[in-house]
């Protein structure tokens, strides 16, 4: 199977989760992890599974204004929290705006503050809806990975992401698995 993990990350948490999901998917599979800007039509066309994730901003998917605020916040405080290398690139919302009709299997994830989603919001739910609108079939419920109030991944979240990746690999229809 060929899996493509597309992530949007401001401070590195979502990037780290994308890497952990890749570790779970990797045994026996070809996995590519790219920021949104690297999600080329060629990579999309070659993938048997698309996994897309981003941070939760203002109760949902980021917008240009919330992404700018995150960058400004890091710069205002001497680079703390540190910006992900691709933080100033396009976000998932931008990517979906340019994405045509697709088909294939997909899954969605986000990073968000710990607490009930009704209070923290969830970007994963919006990502999942947009994946479906663009023709993808979801193979798992949208998943959230939690960060602390000081913007660090909660202990155990990378392990949980790796296990989620393993579960995703097991759900890819056998007819799509390539030798």
Q: What is the pLDDT of residues 56-73, one digit of tens each?
A: 999 999 999 999 999 888
What digits encode the pLDDT tens for the residues 95-142?
999 999 999 999 999 999 988 888 999 999 999 999 999 999 999 999
- Alpha-carbon distances of 60 from 63, 112, 151, 177, rounded to whole Å: 9, 9, 17, 33
Could you give the CA distance from residue 53 to residue 165 in angstroms, rounded to a whole number?
13
Q: Which domain holds residue 101?
A: 2-176
Q: Looking at the 3D structure of the chain, how many domains does it have?
A: 1
CATH of the domain at 149: 3.40.50.360
Instruction: Quickly state the pLDDT bin for 179 (edges 50, 70, 90).
Output: very low
Q: How far apart are CA 26 and CA 144, in angstroms?
A: 21
CA separation for the pair 140, 107 (Å, rounded) = 6
């Amino acid at each position: 199977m060929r899996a493509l993990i597309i992530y949007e990350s401001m401070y590195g948490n979502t990037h780290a989760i994308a890497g952990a999901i890749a570790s779970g998917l990797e045994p026996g599979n070809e996995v590519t992890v790219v920021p949104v800007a690297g999600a080329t039509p060629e990579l999309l066309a070659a993938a048997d599974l698309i996994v897309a994730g981003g941070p939760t901003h203002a109760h949902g998917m980021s917008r240009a204004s919330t992404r700018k605020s995150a960058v400004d916040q890091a710069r205002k405080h001497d680079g703390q929290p540190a910006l992900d290398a691709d933080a100033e690139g396009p976000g998932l919302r931008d990517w979906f705006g340019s994405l045509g009709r697709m088909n294939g299997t997909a899954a969605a994830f986000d990073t968000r503050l710990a607490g009930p989603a009704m209070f923290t919001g969830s970007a994963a739910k919006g990502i999942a809806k947009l994946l479906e609108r663009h023709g993808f079939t979801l193979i798992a419920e949208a998943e959230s990975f939690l960060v602390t109030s000081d913007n660090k991944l909660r202990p155990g979240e990378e392990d949980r992401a790796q296990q989620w990746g393993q579960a995703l690999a097991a759900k890819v229809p056998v007819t799509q698995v390539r030798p």
